[in-house]
Amino acid sequence: MEYSEEITNRLIQAGTLGYPLSKILSIIEVEDEAQFIKDFDNADSNVYKAYKKGLDKSEFLLDTKLFELAKSGDLTAIDMFEKKKKNNKYLAEKELEKRKRNF
């Protein structure tokens, strides 16, 4: 199903804030709620992609701030940044494995 640009933008904002589907449904008024939920759960849909974009943007901004704190010598930030870096490396390796399996 196609959704308006306004709904897509709200989904990105909701993703940025990490809102769960129940909260999104109370904020965004959609004609067919059942279809919207199906689209939200479908990784190939524009609904899912917009929400994921918001999640990723938020994480990027937080990681950037964390990196800046780590560069300034904040020991807690350095530790957190190193943990995030290890996790991101793990996730990247998993994504690569998945892509290789799909070829």
pLDDT in tens, 20-61: 999 999 999 898 999 999 999 999 999 999 999 999 999 999
Percent of the chain clearing pLDDT 90 (strictly above): 86
Statement: residue 81 has pLDDT above 90: yes
Q: How many CA atoms lie within 13 A of 69 on its CB side?
A: 15
CA dihedral 49, 51, 56, 62 (to 10 degrees): 170
Statement: residue 103 has pLDDT above 80: no
Long-range contacts of 20-28 (CB under 8 A, 24+ apart): 24/51
pLDDT given for residue 29 in this prediction:
87
pLDDT given for residue 55 in this prediction:
97
For residues 92 and 99, give the distance between their C-alpha atoms in angstroms, rounded to a whole number: 11
Average confidence score pLDDT of the chain = 94
pLDDT given for residue 1 in this prediction:
85
For residues 87 and 66, give the distance between their C-alpha atoms in angstroms, rounded to a whole number: 15
Element (H, E) at 26: helix 21-27
